[in-house]
Each structure stands twice: as C-alpha cells, then as structure tokens.
C-alpha cells in the first residue's frame, strides 16, 4: 500500500478483513459512512452491532460495540440523553468483562499511524473482535441495560 493510499483503497482493504468475520458472526452489513477524516463500517446483529471506525488523519482502526436501534442507525454518542451507555470500544468491554487484551493493544499501538500497516492492523482488530464477540453477545444486556 502506498503512503498516500486513497480512501477507497483503505475501505476495500479494511472490508476484506471485517466482512468475512462479520458474516461468520452472523452480522449484517456493512453500512458505510464517510467523512473527511474518517470512515466507519457498521454491522448489525439483534440487540448489538459492531462499528469499525477508521481514523485517516492519524491512521488507526477502532472497533466499537453499540446498542442497535430499530431504525438501523449507529449511535453518534457514547451515551444517550438519559445517560445510558449506547456505545463502547471493544477493549473497554473486554476490561469490563475481565478478558485480557494487552498483547493486541501493544501490537495495535505499534502499527498505528501508517497506512502501510492497514492490512496488519485490520487483521489484528478483526481477530480481537472475533475472539471477543461471543462474550459481548452473551452479555449485551449487562453492557447496555434496557431502559
């Protein structure tokens, strides 16, 4: 990948890693949202969904789990107007559940900042999601308590 990869190329590369993982986890999507400095891919499954957020300026790939809504919209904020949690970084969820992820965090920190590491970073985040998803799905009500 060149130092100045196009956004379309980055989207294609990230999707190459996440679409298969999402399909294997029973997630639908992705829904693509683009902005000047980032894009995100949203995958949906019942009560929770997965958002893959790619920051282009400092190049980093984040995975977030969110409370699904009936209208299929990814929450923009981490909490709703009533203060209820509606979105969390996967690593925060793993901390909450007592599941270690230090090795992945160190690897991601090393890979961040360069488009050249896109494939390796996407693979690392996708593997983390794949490993964590059964725990996230089983505890969705604990993570996102109903009103």
Is the Cβ–Cβ distance between 132 and 93 less than 8 Å?
Answer: yes
Give the C-alpha separation, 30 to 50, whole Å: 9
Q: What is the pLDDT of residue 146?
A: 76
CA distance 79 to 127: 27
**Strand order from edge to edge, sheet including 28-34:** 28-34, 38-45, 48-55, 60-67, 87-89
For residue 41, CA distances in Å to 3, 34, 35, 44, 130 come to: 22, 9, 12, 10, 16
The answer on pLDDT for 140 being more than 70 is: yes
pLDDT tens-digit map of 84-136: 888 999 999 999 889 999 999 999 999 999 989 999 999 999 999 999 999 98
> Each residue of 5-44: pLDDT tens digit?
799 999 999 999 999 999 999 999 999 999 999 999 999 9
For residue 123, give the DSSP letter.
Answer: H
Coil, strand or helix at 88: strand
Q: How confident is the model at residue 1 (pLDDT cuts 50, 70, 90)?
A: very low
Token pair belonging to 98:
């007592």
In this structure, is the dihedral angle defined by the CA atoms of residues 137, 141, 145 and 147, taken in order, positive or negative? positive
The pLDDT, as a whole number, for residue 13 is 96
Confidence band for 4, pLDDT divided at 50, 70 and 90 = low
């Amino acid at each position: 990948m060149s130092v100045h990869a196009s956004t379309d190329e980055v989207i294609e590369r990230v999707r190459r890693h996440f679409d298969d993982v999402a399909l294997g986890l029973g997630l639908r999507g992705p829904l693509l949202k683009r902005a000047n400095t980032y894009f995100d891919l949203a995958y949906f499954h019942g009560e929770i969904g997965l958002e893959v957020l790619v920051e282009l300026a400092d190049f980093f790939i984040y995975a977030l789990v969110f409370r699904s809504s009936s209208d299929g919209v990814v929450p923009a904020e981490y909490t709703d107007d009533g203060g209820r949690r509606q979105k969390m970084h996967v690593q925060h969820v793993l901390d909450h559940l007592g599941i270690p992820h230090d090795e992945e965090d160190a690897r991601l920190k090393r890979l961040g900042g360069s488009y050249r590491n896109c494939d390796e970073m996407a693979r690392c985040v996708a593997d983390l999601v794949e490993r964590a998803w059964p725990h996230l799905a089983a505890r969705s009500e604990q993570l996102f308590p109903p009103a």
